[in-house]
């Protein structure tokens, strides 16, 4: 199997649960508080590793207690800390997450050391990437860093998967250049509507049209995740929908990262994109049944059991 190489963020998630999300200006009391490893990059690397991929994470942490804990957590999850950049003079990235009783959440991210992961920090990737590898990117680190990593992947013959979240303001030339190098673009409904410049449609067939339209920006294929309605995709030849799997939703934090990690793992294993999307939806559903991001990511056995039950 080829490898999954992730360039992205590593954060500490500070999570609390509330009965309902507050409105602006309102204070509500949280039922609990927890510190957990997170960050889109780290989450997606751990998601792929937990399913059996050889996963590498290129990320940055601060020279602080949070950074040391994240390094230990990643090593325990089977992620080699060799590619972690330790930054003095800045804090480790922090995400403040509030989860409501229905599983919905709000998230505020303080990037901290993640912004120190610049283009020069990924220059060594060219020596690590090989044909067949899958480079996984998100946008919680600098765009020029992502562009440098994608350029290195293209030169090495590796594939590029971009989860375009959080989405920068429209018209960014670096994002436009990055999209030209992407093999599989993954976006949610809000990001898809913003990138396409179209109002969010209501029907699944119309979302397939949006996925097809996003390919004009450069990606060979596009996947739009629709939460409880599953996902749609278009690869240039065919568009299709993937229904959601049943889920007992406790916390939606990390569901998108579970999807992306499973998608990358399946691609590295040589599976067709339709099967990769199916496995991504299954992994996302499983991740919603537990609290947290990395702590909720499914194992290969759990994923196989869910998929076998559908057959």
Over residues 216-238, the pLDDT tens digits come to 999 999 999 999 999 999 999 99
Inter-residue long-range contacts of 231-236, CB under 8 Å, 24+ positions, other chains counted:
231/259, 231/277, 231/280, 231/281, 232/204, 232/207, 232/208, 233/208, 233/273, 233/274, 233/277, 234/208, 235/273
Q: Which helix or strand (DSSP H or E) is residue 266 part of?
A: helix 255-268
- The β-bridge relationship of strands 239-242 and 231-234 is antiparallel
Q: What's the CA angle centered on 30, arms 24 and 36, to 5 degrees?
A: 105
Task: Find the range with the poorest average confidence among 188-192, 207-211, 307-311.
Answer: 307-311
Paired tokens of 26: 């309102």
| Residue that wins the pLDDT comparison between 279 and 102 | 279
The Cα 252–Cα 109 span in angstroms is 16
Burial classification of residue 198, based on how many CB atoms lie within 10 Å of its CB (0-12 exposed, 13-18 middle, 19 or more buried): middle
**Tokens linked to 130:** 């090989």
- Closest to 29 (Cα-Cα) out of 20, 42, 40, 41: 20
pLDDT of the residue at 150: 97
pLDDT of residue 301: 97
Per-residue pLDDT at 244: 94
Tell me the pTM.
0.92
Q: Is 151 left (phi over 0), alpha (psi -120 to 50) or beta?
A: alpha
Whether 26 has a pLDDT exceeding 80, the answer reads yes
Statement: residue 93 has pLDDT above 70: yes
Instruction: Identify the band that residue 23 occupies on the pLDDT scale cut at 50, 70 and 90.
Output: confident
Rounded to an integer, the average pLDDT of 65-73 is 96
Q: 311: pLDDT confidence band, cut at 50, 70 and 90?
A: low
By three-state DSSP, how is residue 217 classified? Answer: helix
- The SS3 assignment for 47 reads helix
Average pLDDT over residues 271-278: 98
Judge whether residue 202 has pLDDT over 90: no
**Which residues does the annotation mark as catalytic?**
257
Higher pLDDT, 254 or 221: 221
Quick one: fold of 4-10+39-62+78-83+115-310?
3.40.1190
């Amino acid at each position: 199997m080829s490898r999954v190489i992730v360039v992205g963020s590593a954060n500490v998630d500070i999570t609390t649960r509330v009965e309902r999300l507050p409105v602006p200006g309102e204070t509500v009391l949280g039922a609990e508080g927890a510190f957990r490893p997170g960050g889109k990059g780290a989450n997606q690397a751990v998601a792929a590793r937990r399913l059996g991929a050889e996963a590498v994470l290129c990320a940055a942490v601060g020279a602080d207690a949070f950074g040391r804990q994240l390094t230990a957590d990643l090593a325990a999850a089977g992620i080699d800390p060799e590619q972690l950049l330790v930054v003095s003079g800045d804090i480790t990235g922090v995400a403040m997450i509030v989860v409501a009783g229905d599983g919905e959440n709000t998230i505020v991210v303080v990037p901290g050391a993640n912004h120190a992961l610049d283009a020069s920090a990924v220059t060594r990737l060219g020596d690590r990437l090989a044909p067949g590898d899958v480079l996984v990117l998100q946008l919680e680190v600098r765009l020029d860093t992502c562009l440098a990593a994608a350029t290195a992947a293209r030169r090495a013959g590796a594939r590029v998967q971009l989860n375009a979240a959080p989405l920068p303001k429209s018209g960014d030339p670096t994002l436009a250049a990055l999209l030209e190098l992407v093999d599989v673009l993954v976006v949610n409904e809000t990001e898809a509507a913003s990138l396409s410049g179209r109002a969010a449609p209501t029907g699944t067939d119309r979302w397939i049209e949006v996925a097809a339209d996003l390919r004009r920006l450069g990606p060979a294929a596009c996947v739009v995740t629709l939460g409880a309605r599953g996902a749609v995709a278009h690869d240039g030849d065919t568009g299709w929908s993937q229904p959601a799997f049943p889920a007992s939703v406790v916390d939606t934090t990390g569901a998108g990262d579970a999807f992306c990690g499973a998608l990358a793992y399946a691609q590295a294993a040589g599976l067709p994109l339709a099967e990769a999307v199916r496995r991504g939806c299954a992994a996302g559903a499983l991740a919603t049944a537990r609290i947290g991001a990395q702590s909720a990511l499914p194992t290969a056995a759990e994923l196989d059991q869910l998929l076998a039950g559908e057959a």
